[in-house]
């Protein structure tokens, strides 16, 4: 019983996976492909007396392309193998036991193409890019945000003050860092009340809408309670560490339909996305996140401290902003080692539909947080007007100080 059929033409109802396959030792790649196809669908390591021909014909996958030079393989799976609306089940098939098989030295799930039948079984984002822009009232430029630094240690009052300084300096968005939740030194509910209060103060003073994104990541029921608390107190956003809370918890949060924008942080993703020969690509994670329904997603920067080449970041961006069976798009977020000097390059790569978040690049400014936020907005203004940063900095001392400290990439 073979699953390799190089003459097979995928149907519109097939889910198609693109893998990188490195077989064990000197084994043929075809043998590894047979094992992958079987284990990820209806088969196992040996022939089965219980395998009915009807099951094989109806549910058997097809390995329809093998590139021995690159190691890339395409496998088509009938959509009936998968439970609609169930990310855990889908991943348990196409990204489950196959990674532990001896038949492969390395295996990487590079991409997944979802058929319309499966894609439409998910909610997708509630707001999308246009909805987020409506919340903020900003339609013609990238959004500028910051992450409160230090990551941990500030009490709730100091946290709220740093957020205020960021907003009045020019940031649209302030968010918690990925590992700040409900520690004793900064209790969640106290932090929410004080920071939202400072958000209101900043909105009154600047005449701009401002956003606070509190990290609600926790056990699922607790996470939902925290989301409700944010909503009850005037919050418009929640932030979730989507990998560490798990896809099931994320689906539950989206199904609650609380009416708040969901910001997705990808902490821990590199544990399985970074190795180019093994694991799962960030592109796959991004597609899953859009299906489930996050409105904003960290995708990398192509500049800054985080790994991720330009081509990969652009491919991920295109996957979450393009047309996809009528699902709303997801707002790309770039964050990680950014500062004002990097903004023109980032805008050139990402375009206007990007959320630029700088933590150290705001709070590490020589003259403090407010000046750091001002420098970020000044750098963005320069980029949008195609004015060189050095020229714009001549009349904007905050930007000049940032360039003096960090330079340009």
Distances 189 to 215, 249, 259, 362 between C-alpha atoms, Å: 11, 21, 19, 25
- Between 306 and 67, the more confident residue is 67
Checking if the pLDDT of 281 tops 80, the result is yes
Cis peptide before 150 (omega within 30 of 0): yes
* Residue 3 in domain: no
Indicate whether 182 and 280 sit together in one domain.
yes
Q: What is residue 308's predicted lDDT score, i.e. its pLDDT?
A: 60
Q: How many domains does the chain have?
A: 2
* Residue 4 in domain: no
Question: For 82-119, what is each residue's pLDDT tens digit?
Answer: 999 999 999 999 999 999 999 999 999 999 999 999 99
Indicate whether 73 and 47 sit together in one domain.
yes
The Cα 15–Cα 41 span in angstroms is: 12
Mention every residue, 6+ apart, whose C-beta is less than 8 A from residue 287. Answer: 112, 114, 319, 320
For 36-75, the DSSP string reads HHHHTTT--SS--TT--HHHHHHH--EEEEEETTTTEEEE
Q: What is residue 277's predicted lDDT score, i.e. its pLDDT?
A: 96
Mention every residue, 6+ apart, whose C-beta is less than 8 A from residue 237. Answer: 211, 212, 213, 214, 230, 260, 261, 262, 263
Indicate whether 92 and 145 sit together in one domain.
no
- Tokens representing 36 are 């992958």
Q: Name the strands in the sheet holding 104-113, side by side, starting at the edge strand that comes first in the sequence.
A: 62-67, 72-78, 14-23, 104-113, 279-280
Checking if the pLDDT of 55 tops 90, the result is no
Q: 78 pairs with which residues across the strands?
A: 14
* Residue 191 in domain: yes
- Among 119, 154, 183, identify where a domain stops: 119
Indicate whether 206 and 105 sit together in one domain.
no
* List 210, 265, 298, 370, catalytic entry: 265
CATH of residue 281: 3.20.20.110
Instruction: State how beta strands 296-298 and 331-335 pair.
Output: parallel
Per the annotation, the verdict on 265 as an active-site residue is yes
* List 149, 339, 363, 400, catalytic entry: 149
Torsion of CA 71, 76, 81, 86, to 10 degrees: 70
* Residue 9 in domain: no
Indicate whether 278 and 402 sit together in one domain.
yes
* Residue 325 in domain: yes
* Residue 82 in domain: yes
Indicate whether 92 and 113 sit together in one domain.
yes
Neighbours of 188 (CB within 10 A): 22
Checking if the pLDDT of 304 tops 90, the result is no
CATH of residue 99: 3.30.70.150
Checking if the pLDDT of 21 tops 90, the result is yes
Q: What is residue 37's predicted lDDT score, i.e. its pLDDT?
A: 96
Longest Cα–Cα distance of the chain, Å, equals 80
Short-list 147, 137, 146, 258, CA closest to 209? 137
* Residue 77 in domain: yes
- Tokens representing 406 are 């960090």
Torsion of CA 111, 117, 118, 120, to 10 degrees: 110
Checking if the pLDDT of 148 tops 60, the result is yes
- Among 119, 145, 169, identify where a domain stops: 119
The Cα 386–Cα 53 span in angstroms is: 65
Tell me the CA end-to-end span of the chain in Å, nearest whole number.
55
Per the annotation, the verdict on 149 as an active-site residue is yes
Indicate whether 217 and 339 sit together in one domain.
yes
């998968």: which residue's tokens?
A: 82
Q: What rounded mean pLDDT belongs to the chain?
A: 95
Q: What is residue 336's predicted lDDT score, i.e. its pLDDT?
A: 86
Alpha helices, H only, 53-176: 53-59, 87-94, 116-119, 128-136, 156-169
Checking if the pLDDT of 302 tops 90, the result is no
108: containing domain? 14-119
Indicate whether 111 and 213 sit together in one domain.
no
- Among 100, 119, 138, identify where a domain stops: 119
Q: How much is the average pLDDT of 209-238?
A: 98
Indicate whether 112 and 142 sit together in one domain.
no
Q: What is residue 122's predicted lDDT score, i.e. its pLDDT?
A: 98
Checking if the pLDDT of 326 tops 60, the result is yes
Question: For 124-146, what is each residue's pLDDT tens digit?
Answer: 999 999 999 999 999 999 999 99
> What angle (nearest 5°) sits at the alpha carbon of residue 35, between those of residues 33 and 40?
100
Checking if the pLDDT of 77 tops 90, the result is yes
Indicate whether 265 and 293 sit together in one domain.
yes
Its sign, for the CA torsion 286, 292, 293, 298, is negative
On the 0-12 / 13-18 / 19+ scale of CB atoms within 10 A, 288 is buried
Indicate whether 287 and 261 sit together in one domain.
yes
* Residue 187 in domain: yes
Contact 3, 60 (CB under 8 A): yes
Indicate whether 134 and 196 sit together in one domain.
yes
């Amino acid at each position: 019983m073979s699953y390799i059929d190089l003459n097979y033409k995928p149907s519109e109802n097939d889910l198609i996976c693109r893998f990188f396959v490195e077989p064990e030792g000197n084994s043929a790649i075809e043998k590894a492909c047979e094992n992958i196809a079987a284990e990820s669908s209806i088969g196992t390591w040996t022939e089965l007396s219980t395998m009915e021909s009807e099951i094989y014909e109806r549910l058997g996958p097809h390995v329809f392309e093998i590139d021995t030079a690159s190691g890339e393989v395409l496998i088509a799976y009938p959509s009936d193998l998968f439970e609609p609306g169930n990310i855990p089940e889908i991943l348990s098939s196409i990204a489950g036991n196959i990674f532990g098989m001896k038949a492969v030295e390395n295996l990487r799930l590079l991409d997944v193409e979802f058929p319309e039948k499966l894609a439409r079984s998910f909610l997708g984002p509630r707001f999308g890019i246009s909805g987020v822009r409506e919340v903020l009232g900003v339609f013609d430029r990238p959004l500028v945000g910051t992450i409160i630094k230090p990551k941990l240690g500030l009490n709730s009052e100091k946290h709220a003050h740093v957020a205020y300084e960021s907003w009045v300096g020019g940031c649209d968005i302030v968010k918690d860092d990925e590992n700040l939740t409900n520690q004793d030194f900064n209790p969640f509910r106290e932090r929410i009340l004080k920071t939202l209060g400072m958000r209101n103060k900043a909105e009154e003073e600047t005449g701009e809408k401002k956003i606070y994104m509190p990290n609600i990541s926790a056990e699922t029921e607790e996470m939902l309670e925290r989301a409700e608390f944010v909503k009850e107190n005037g919050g418009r956003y929640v932030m979730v560490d989507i990998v560490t809370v798990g896809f099931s918890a994320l689906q539950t949060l989206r199904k609650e339909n609380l009416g708040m924008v969901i910001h997705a942080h990808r902490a821990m993703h590199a544990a399985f996305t970074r190795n180019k020969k093994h694991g799962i690509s960030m592109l796959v994670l991004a597609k899953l996140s859009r299906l489930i329904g996050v409105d904003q997603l960290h995708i990398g920067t192509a500049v800054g401290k985080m790994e991720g080449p330009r081509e990969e970041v652009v491919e991920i961006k295109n996957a979450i902003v393009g047309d996809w069976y009528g699902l709303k798009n997801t707002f790309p977020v770039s964050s990680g080692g950014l500062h004002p000097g990097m903004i023109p390059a980032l805008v050139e790569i990402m375009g206007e539909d990007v959320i630029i978040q700088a933590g150290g690049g705001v709070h590490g400014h020589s003259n403090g947080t407010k000046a750091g936020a001002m420098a970020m907005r000044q750098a963005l203004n320069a980029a949008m007007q195609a004015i060189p940063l050095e020229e714009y900095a001549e009349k904007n001392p905050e930007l000049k100080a940032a360039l003096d400290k960090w330079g340009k990439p």
